[in-house]
Amino acid sequence: GQQVMQIPQYQHVQEGEDFTTYCNSSTTLSNIQWYKQRPGGHPVFLIQLVKSGEVKKQKRLTFQFGEAKKNSSLHITATQTTDVGTYFCARRDGRNFGNEKLTFGTGTRLTIIP
């Protein structure tokens, strides 16, 4: 399947500032997942969105799924140094046993200036 595009590719923010990354698809998504990968680490699952217009919060993180289910965003309020890493969205393809797979977005690398 087509790769999911993310913007921006890089983001440098002062500690305490907000951060947002956007995930866009040319086709309708059945779901969208978000992962965080720390430098030198592996992706860690954050959340999955399934419903049109869905908004979910995890402390300072707010995840949103677009009404048309073609885009999604991750917003971090008041960034901290622990938020450093690359944030990936990923769509899960297939609903039948054995053919599900994740297609990862291009990622947004967040760096924090203390």
Partner 1 sequence: GAVVSQHPSRVICKSGTSVKIECRSLDFQATTMFWYRQFPKQSLMLMATSNEGSKATYEQGVEKDKFLINHASLTLSTLTVTSAHPEDSSFYICSARAGHPGSPEETQYFGPGTRLLVL
Among 74, 79, 83, 105, binds partner 1 (CB under 8 A): 105
- Amino acid in position 70: K
Q: Segment near partner 1 (CB under 8 A), from 11-19, 20-28, 57-65, 104-112? A: 104-112
Distance CA 60, CA 76 (A): 6
Please state, in angstroms and rounded to a whole number, the distance separating the CA atoms of residues 9 and 29.
Answer: 21
> Which residues within the stretch 20-79 sit at the binding site for partner 1 (CB under 8 A)?
41-45, 48, 50
Q: Report the alpha-carbon distance of residue 88 to residue 18 in Å, rounded.
A: 17
Interface residues with partner 1 (CB under 8 A)?
Answer: 3, 41-45, 48, 50, 88, 92, 94-107, 109
